Every structure is written in C-alpha cells, then in structure tokens.
C-alpha cells in the first residue's frame, strides 16, 4: 500500500510532533497531509487523572523549557493540555563553582524580577509532555503511522519512504526527528562529528530539608555538574553528570548512601536529602550532523545535534529548529514548494550556526569547570562573580536562556505568540 503526503516526519517525540503541529498551525500543510512515523505509538493513558491523586506524580525524566518553547507549545495547542500539576514555573537560577558559595562569592544568580519576567522557564514532566505533544498533533490533523523506516529514495519530485511492514509513503519533504541515533540521517548519507564524554547523567527525585524556593540550583564540580530542579510538590529533580565508572558506583548505593552523596555534591545547599525515587541514567555525548539538509530532506532536534545537558538546552534547541524550519518553509510560498532546496538551505544556515555556537559553549563550560587546576578554579569563581556584577552581560545571558535572545524567529519573539 502506498500513500502520499506533503510532509513525512520520522520520529514521534516532542520535537517531531511539535514540528507537525507547527506546520498545521501556520497553514503550511492541510490537515491529513503530514504524517508522523513512530516505531510504536503508546496508547492514550489516564495519566492526568492518575497523577492528580498520586503522592508523587512526577516521572523521572523532566525538561526545563524556555520562554520560546512555551510560546511554541502554546501555538501548537500543546501547552493548554499539559497537566497543571506537572508544570512548574521556576523564578530563580543559582549557579556556583565548588570553590564558591551559593548566592555569594563565586556564584551567579538570575531572578525573573530583575528581568521583568513572570518566571525564568518551566520544569515539565517528560512523559506528560510527550503525551500532550502527540495528542495536539493528532487533534490538529497529523496522521500518526506506527511503523519503522526500512529505506529511503529521494528524487527531484520528492522522497519515497519504504516501511518495514511493506507499506510505502511519499512526501514532498522528509524531516528526520528520530533522535541522536537517527536511522533516517544514516539513510540520507549525512555524517556526524563529535565525541563521547564518557559520562552518564543520573536522574532521581529527592526531598530536601530546606524549601527549593522555586529556584533551579546548579553546582559545578571537577567531576561534573549537579543540578537540583524544583518540582511542584516541593521536591527537587536532580540531574548529576559523572564519569561512567562513578555512575555505576553511585547507582549501586542504597538510598541513604546515595542521598548522602547528593548532599555532599550539592554542598548542602538545600539541607538534608531523602531519595524518593529509583535512580535512572542516560549517556552523555556531543554530536552534530555535518549537514542539516539534503534535497527534499531536513534534520531537526537530536537528529541534527546532541549537546551536554548541563544547561538543559537540548530540547529547547530542537524546538527552535522546528520554528526556524517552519519560518523558512513559510517564506517559500505554497505547499507545492515544500522540499525545495533554497528554503531548506536557509534553515540550515540559520540553525547550524546557532546550534554549533551553543554546542561549543556547553562543551567549553564542561571542560572549564571539570578541570581540577587550582588556577582555573580561582578563575571560574572570579568569572562567575564578574558576570554577576555586569548587569548588561547578565541580562543578555538570561535572554539567551529564555530563548528570546539571539537569532529567534519573529513569531516567537512576540508576546502572546
């Protein structure tokens, strides 16, 4: 069986579903003319009802979403369907070096009040975000296809995607949003570069003796950064980057021993720690595609770039890819021009440079703060303090973190987008 679409998106994660929703919301394709491929589409759950009555509704994987991401999700109809108890606005961020003091010497603090913003961003439950993105895409008119890609053939007229179940799809434009290990990227012949950090990010939720104060706390250690992200139920979600050998050791500890390790790593910023969930981990890598586009095809999200999670920007960068690609396609004209190479190249030039800057900055921060050199330690602490004293630099950094600084599509800069 063969079926033709204007756009086929491989990958039904948040980035792929938001891309579909954005194409529909901006009238770049008609309902029923964009397909989203997923290896397996999870059935609708009663997560919202269950979460409301649960003691600990938050899942282990959470995301820190920027203002630009919030606006994009609102535009796509995702934001209003997120369970309110699984979305938490944080108002402050405190970053400090292990040789410094939180909110003191060798630290940098951002406060939404100083920026005239209601908040600095949102901590959102990953499973709830995924489900809401799928629901919003389907409601907007996207066709969900549960199948894996077998092969791809690209011609001047479009792409033909053969599926493992013998079906075939046609598209004017193929978009790869199938993650860092993207099979679509490989089938398109796009090479990658980068390196492994030989680190894991440990994630768990903890209860702390002191309130988190709606603040995201991050301490840089020579062994890797640890972040405590505030949740709506008063707990904090930790994201702790450590070398793989240390990750294995920490995951083998019992709950009390692990809590003691978190207490030491966080410098006791929130007092005594109680582990309230199992511990999960995922590998960390720096990877970037050498090309973002091919004739009739484009890469977005982790298929195009994977970065260190120390600033929580991975998903936000992917959402900005969606916005930039939609803007470039909109400038091209009608749906008949979807897949034309010129607008795809405009998207590539715009996002490749921005993503490489972000990747290089995060990689540089990881290298700088992971050094145990005493001279560098003093330099780090002095640098954080200096940035904190320069209001214009601090404000510019904050705007970048909010996703409304730098080269951002105009429709995301607008209030109420």
List pLDDT tens digits, range 3-37. Answer: 999 999 999 999 999 999 999 999 999 999 999 99
Q: 3-state DSSP call for residue 264? A: helix
- The count of domains in the chain is 1
Is position 350 within any domain?
A: yes
Is position 8 within any domain?
A: yes
What radius of gyration do the chain's Cα atoms show?
22
Is position 211 within any domain?
A: no
Q: What is the pLDDT of residues 111-150, one digit of tens each?
A: 888 888 889 999 999 999 999 999 999 999 999 999 999 9
pLDDT score recorded for residue 375 = 52
- Quick check: 368 pLDDT over 80? no
Q: 254: how many CB neighbours lie within 10 A of its CB?
A: 9
Q: 3-state DSSP call for residue 325? A: helix
Domain that holds residue 378: 2-194+285-413
Q: Quick one: tokens of 40?
A: 């397996």
How many residues are present in the chain? 417
What average pLDDT does this structure show over 383-400?
54
- CATH number of the domain at 97, please: 3.50.50.60
Strands (E), 156-308: 158-163, 168-176, 192-208, 215-220, 226-230, 236-243, 273-275, 280-289, 293-294, 297-299, 305-306
Beta-carbon contacts of residue 80 (< 8 Å; ≥ 6 apart): 74
Is position 383 within any domain?
A: yes
Range 43-49, long-range pairs (CB < 8 A, 24+ positions): 44/131, 44/135, 45/131, 47/83, 47/127, 47/128, 47/131, 48/83, 48/128
Q: Please provide residue 283's backbone torsions phi and psi, each rounded to the nearest 5 degrees.
A: -70, 150
Q: Quick one: tokens of 275?
A: 């582990």
Q: What is the pLDDT of residues 191-217, one digit of tens each?
A: 999 877 788 999 999 999 999 999 999
pLDDT score recorded for residue 97 = 84
Q: Is pLDDT larger for residue 409 or for residue 301?
A: 301
Is position 308 within any domain?
A: yes
Confidence band (pLDDT; 50, 70, 90) for 53? very low
Q: Quick one: tokens of 302?
A: 């982790």
Confidence band (pLDDT; 50, 70, 90) for 49? very low
Task: Give the Å distances, CA to CA, from 415 to 90, 98, 185, 219, 397.
Answer: 19, 38, 35, 32, 19
Is position 274 within any domain?
A: no
- Quick check: 51 pLDDT over 70? no
b (16+ CB within 10 A) / e for 149-167: beebebeeebbbbbbeeee
How far is residue 207's CA from residue 344's CA, in Å, rounded to a whole number? 47
Is position 215 within any domain?
A: no
Is position 229 within any domain?
A: no
What average pLDDT does this structure show over 312-326?
91
């Amino acid at each position: 069986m063969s079926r033709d679409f204007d756009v086929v998106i491989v990958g039904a994660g948040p980035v792929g579903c938001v891309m579909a929703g954005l194409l529909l919301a901006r009238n770049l394709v008609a309902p029923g003319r964009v397909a989203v491929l997923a290896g397996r589409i999870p059935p609708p759950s009663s997560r919202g009802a269950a979460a409301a009555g649960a003691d600990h509704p938050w899942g282990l994987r959470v995301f820190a979403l920027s203002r630009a991401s919030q606006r994009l999700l609102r535009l796509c109809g995702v934001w209003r369907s997120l369970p309110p108890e699984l979305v938490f606005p944080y108002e402050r961020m405190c970053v400090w070096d292990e040789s410094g003091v939180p909110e003191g010497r060798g630290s940098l603090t951002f406060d939404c009040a100083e920026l005239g913003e209601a908040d600095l961003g949102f901590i959102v439950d990953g499973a709830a975000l995924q489900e809401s993105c799928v629901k919003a895409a389907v409601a907007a008119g996207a066709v969900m296809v549960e199948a894996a890609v077998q092969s791809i053939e690209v011609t001047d007229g479009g792409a033909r995607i053969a599926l493992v179940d013998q079906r075939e799809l046609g598209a004017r434009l193929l978009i790869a949003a199938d993650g860092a290990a993207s099979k679509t990227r490989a089938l398109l012949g796009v090479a990658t570069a980068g390196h492994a950090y030989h680190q894991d990010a440990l994630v768990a939720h903890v209860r702390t003796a002191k309130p988190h104060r709606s603040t995201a706390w991050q301490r840089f250690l020579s062994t890797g950064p640890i972040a405590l992200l505030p949740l709506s139920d008063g707990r904090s979600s930790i994201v702790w980057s450590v070398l793989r050998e240390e990750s294995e050791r920490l995951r083998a500890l019992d709950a009390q021993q692990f809590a003691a390790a978190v207490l030491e790593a966080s410098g006791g910023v929130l007092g005594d720690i109680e582990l309230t969930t199992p511990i999960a981990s995922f590998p960390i890598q720096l990877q970037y595609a050498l090309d973002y586009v091919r004739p009739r095809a484009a890469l977005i999200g982790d298929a195009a770039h994977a970065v260190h999670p120390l600033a929580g920007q991975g998903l936000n960068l992917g959402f900005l890819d969606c916005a930039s690609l939609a803007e470039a396609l909109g400038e091209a004209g009608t749906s008949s021009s979807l897949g034309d190479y010129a607008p795809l190249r405009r998207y590539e030039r715009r996002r490749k440079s921005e993503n490489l800057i972000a990747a290089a900055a995060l990689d540089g921060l990881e290298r700088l703060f992971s050094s145990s050199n005493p001279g560098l330690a003093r330099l780090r602490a002095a640098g954080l303090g200096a940035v904190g004293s320069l209001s214009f630099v601090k404000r510019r950094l904050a705007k970048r973190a909010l996703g409304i600084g730098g080269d951002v599509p105009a429709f995301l800069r607008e209030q109420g987008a």
